[in-house]
Amino acid sequence: MRDLLRSESRQAECESHGPYIAARIGRFGGWTMCPVCLQDREREEEATRSQREKDLAAERILARLRACGVPDRFLDRTLDSFEARNEGQARCLAFARRYVEDWGATRASGRSAVWIGRPGTGKPHLAIGICRALADAGATAIYSTVQRAVRRVRETWDRDRRTESEAQAIAAFASADLLVLDEVGVQAGSNNEQTILFDILNERYNGRRPTLLLSNLGKEQVADLLGERVIDRLREDGGSVLAFDWESWRRNVGQ
**pLDDT tens figures, 209-224:** 999 999 998 888 888 8
Amino acid at 92: C
Residues 207 and 108 in one domain: yes
Domain with residue 122: its CATH number is 3.40.50.300
CA–CA separation, 232 and 245 (whole Å): 24
pLDDT score recorded for residue 122: 92
Range of the structural domain that residue 32 is part of:
2-62
Residues 139 and 221 in one domain: yes
pLDDT tens for the chain, residues 1 to 255: 344 444 688 889 998 999 998 888 876 678 889 999 999 999 999 998 988 887 777 777 777 777 777 877 888 889 999 999 899 999 999 999 999 999 999 999 999 999 999 888 999 999 999 998 998 888 999 999 999 999 999 999 988 888 899 999 999 999 999 999 999 887 656 778 888 888 999 899 999 999 999 999 888 888 888 777 777 777 777 788 899 988 776 555 433
Number of domains in the chain: 2
Residues 25 and 134 in one domain: no
Number of H helices and E strands in the chain, helices first, is 11, 7
pLDDT score recorded for residue 129: 94
DSSP tag of 183:
E
Residues 116 and 159 in one domain: yes
3-class DSSP state of 28 = coil
The answer to pTM > 0.85 is no
